[in-house]
Amino acid sequence: MKKYFVLAAAALVALTACTKMESTDSTPAKKISFNVGTYKAVTKADPTTKHALQGETESFSSKAWLHANGATTGTDFFGAGETITYDSSVPEWAPANEYFWPKAAESYINFVSWYATNSKNPTTVTETSLQWGTTSAPVTIAKDDNILFADEAWKFSSNNNPATYKTVSGVAEGVPTLFHHALAKLQFNMKLKTVTKSERSIWDVEIQTASLKIGNNGYLDLVNAAPSTDATTVAWKVGTAAATSDIVGWARPSSPTLETIVETSSTASDVTKDFKKLSFEGFAPKTLTDGKFESASQVFLAERTVLPQTLGETVKFAMTFKISIFHDANNDGNKDGAAYSEEIVTISETNLSSLVSTITSWNMNTKVVYNVTIDPVGKKVLFDPAVVDWAENTSVDTQIYPQP
């Protein structure tokens, strides 16, 4: 998602003593507006897209610091901060108050922008530090949370020329601001797959219980450094206080809180049912698909946000499912009476990373999709008949006539 802020210049009049000094800059005054456009190449334009944050938010927060005349220390240009709201009638993103570009050649503005749901705004926002929570006061993540942070727009003193950008309607020029997701997304899909063909049997598989134990609290410490060039964007990096990798981003506190996402057949009101209960009925592996006989995939756990984390031994998965087998003597796709075999299969609580070794962490701005497959088709019951050979008991030669 790419956004850019449109900022315009204002005339400057300076008064010293009793002498009136007027600037020769005749640029008409224009208020700051935050028009949004995509400035990264896209393969296909979507005519229904009204702005680059569609589906995420209609407003976000921003702070800015003015370095007047190149001052080392910036002053709050937006005060305590501004809420930037999308106005579809213009269209533009704009704060409630008007702001203008500085006129002095050495002056510039730095912009830090973010978005957070459920009152989970950053605890620290400066030109060089952006933090959510601390080790002693971590942030607890809920499944519907959404946190975005933008690359810092550093040392801008005029609108950026968007001539090289791919824009959407109504967008002119401005300060590019690229948002990243601070959280990870998680989804589970389920399907049946087998390599064994069958012409006379039908399987039903019911997912009866499932649970996922995850960590849901942590803290994020982002830092940056002044670049050597002006009018550029600066990506945040994970700070040393987070004591974690740049990939995962978030650090776990010394006493992490674990959340168990569970689906069971229980009707108790205290049972969380984030996992969807699934039934695969009439599985008859007769159609070959990519070398496998398989069912259509179903969503087992819908998309939800989770705390980015290394999986280790903290994230655990467990499941039980019932397999029922029916005869189909006529091979017409219809079950012949009741199931002749039913059994419950249990996958005991296991480290998720050991079940799926290719995924060792849930990272920021990453959607993790687990495709879980069950092969309900075992080996056919066959017979290996044999007949025990006749035992032979042969007498010695015996003369019966005439009697000796």
**Domain presence at residue 84:** yes
Q: Contact, 141 vs 183, CB < 8 A?
A: yes
Same domain, 8 and 107: yes
| Structure confidence at residue 254 (pLDDT) | 80
| Structure confidence at residue 358 (pLDDT) | 93
**Domain presence at residue 387:** no
**Domain presence at residue 236:** no
**Domain presence at residue 381:** no
Q: How far is CA 149 from CA 79, 129, 227, 242, in A?
A: 19, 12, 19, 17
Q: Which two tokens stand for residue 279?
A: 């039934």
| Structure confidence at residue 162 (pLDDT) | 52
Instruction: Give the Cα separation of 45 and 348 in Å (integer).
Output: 47
Q: Other C-beta atoms within 10 Å of 164: how many?
A: 8
Same domain, 190 and 178: no
| Structure confidence at residue 86 (pLDDT) | 79
Same domain, 144 and 44: yes
Nearest to 311 by CA among 355, 369, 364, 351: 351
pTM of the predicted model as reported, rounded to 2 decimal places: 0.82
| Structure confidence at residue 161 (pLDDT) | 53
Q: Other C-beta atoms within 10 Å of 258: how many?
A: 12
What is the amino acid identity at position 361? S
Q: Which two tokens stand for residue 83?
A: 């809420």
Same domain, 200 and 324: yes
| Structure confidence at residue 247 (pLDDT) | 66
Same domain, 7 and 121: yes
| Structure confidence at residue 99 (pLDDT) | 87
Q: Which domain holds residue 351?
A: 186-216+257-374
Same domain, 194 and 302: yes
Residues of the chain with pLDDT under 50: 1-30, 35-47, 163-172, 243
**Domain presence at residue 380:** no
CA atoms 228, 231, 236, 240: torsion sign: positive
Nearest to 222 by CA among 200, 239, 205: 239
**Domain presence at residue 190:** yes
CA atoms 64, 66, 70, 73: torsion sign: negative
Total domain count for the chain?
Answer: 2
| Structure confidence at residue 226 (pLDDT) | 77
User: Which residues sit opposite 191 in a β-bridge?
Assistant: 373
| Structure confidence at residue 177 (pLDDT) | 75
Contacts of 68 (CB under 8 A, 6+ apart): 75, 102, 104, 107
Contacts of 16 (CB under 8 A, 6+ apart): none
**Domain presence at residue 70:** yes
Same domain, 199 and 154: no
**Domain presence at residue 402:** no
